[in-house]
Homo-oligomer: A and B are copies of this chain.
Amino acid sequence: MSTKRDQIITTTCQLMETQGYHATGLNQILAESGAPKGSLYHYFPDGKDGLVEEAIAHTRQTIEARLREGMAAYENPAQAIPNFLRSLAHHVQASGFESGGPITAVALEAASTNERLNAACRAAYQAWQKVIEQKLLDSGYETVRARRLGTLVIAIIEGATILSRSERNVGPLLDAALELEALL
């Protein structure tokens, strides 16, 4: 597990988040990670798709851990979930609205044109939904509704992040947090 390999993946994660798949060239990834071009195909023989697939998997685990942390911070999901959205709003604002929705752009670009990357994104979304769902189940929510709310919460996070980045204003994320308090 080379450090340079990790650096390439980390850089890829960042660029996927801010620009998406097609807008990000391998040259840019290499320039920002400080790696030469040949080493990319040494570490990632499948080329761009293999690299991005790993980057998505990496992001999936990072966010999954952050979600678990956020859910564990409060016993009541009606506190834990809205506060997670608020911490997310902080993160988006601190990045100058360049971060947020770490795989959303890729998910949409790949949805109809690249089944390999689409599968990676789908796996990430389902994992994240499951964290929310489990928190709700542990707090006594009924099975069907817990799953439904798990899906909805991830959808709201995605959608509100898009609006916040587009408007350069964390209002949508904070609004969503408030309404989730009413719903949960």
Residues of A participating in the B interface, judged by any CB pair closer than 8 Å: 18-23, 97-98, 101, 104-105, 107-109, 111-113, 118, 121-122, 125-126, 148-149, 151-152, 154-160, 162-163, 165-167, 171-172, 175-176, 178-179, 182-183
Instruction: Please determine whether B105 and A166 come into contact, CB atoms closer than 8 angstroms.
Output: no
Contact for A104 among B108, B113, B154, B179, CB less than 8 A: B108
* Residues of B contacting A152 in the complex (Cβ-Cβ under 8 angstroms): 156, 160, 172, 175-176, 179
* Residues of B contacting A179 in the complex (Cβ-Cβ under 8 angstroms): 148-149, 152, 183
Instruction: Please determine whether B155 and A160 come into contact, CB atoms closer than 8 angstroms.
Output: yes
In the complex, what distance in Å separates the CA atom of A171 from the CA atom of B162? 21
Which residue of chain B has its CB nearest to the CB of A165?
B111
7 tightest Cβ-Cβ pairs between the two chains A and B: A159-B159, A155-B159, A22-B22, A158-B159, A105-B108, A155-B160, A111-B165
In the complex, what distance in Å separates the CA atom of A112 from the CA atom of B23? 11
Main secondary structure of the interface of A (DSSP, over half): helix
Which residue of chain B has its CB nearest to the CB of A124?
B166
Query: 30 A-B residue contacts at CB 8 Å?
Result: A18-B112, A18-B113, A20-B20, A22-B23, A23-B109, A97-B112, A104-B108, A105-B105, A107-B165, A107-B166, A122-B167, A125-B166, A148-B175, A148-B179, A151-B160, A151-B175, A151-B176, A152-B156, A152-B160, A152-B172, A152-B175, A154-B159, A155-B159, A155-B160, A155-B176, A156-B159, A158-B159, A158-B163, A159-B162, A183-B183
Known contacts A152-B175, A160-B155, A179-B152; decide if A20 and B108 are in contact (CB<8 Å): yes
Q: Chain B's nearest CB lies how many Å from the CB of A85? A: 11
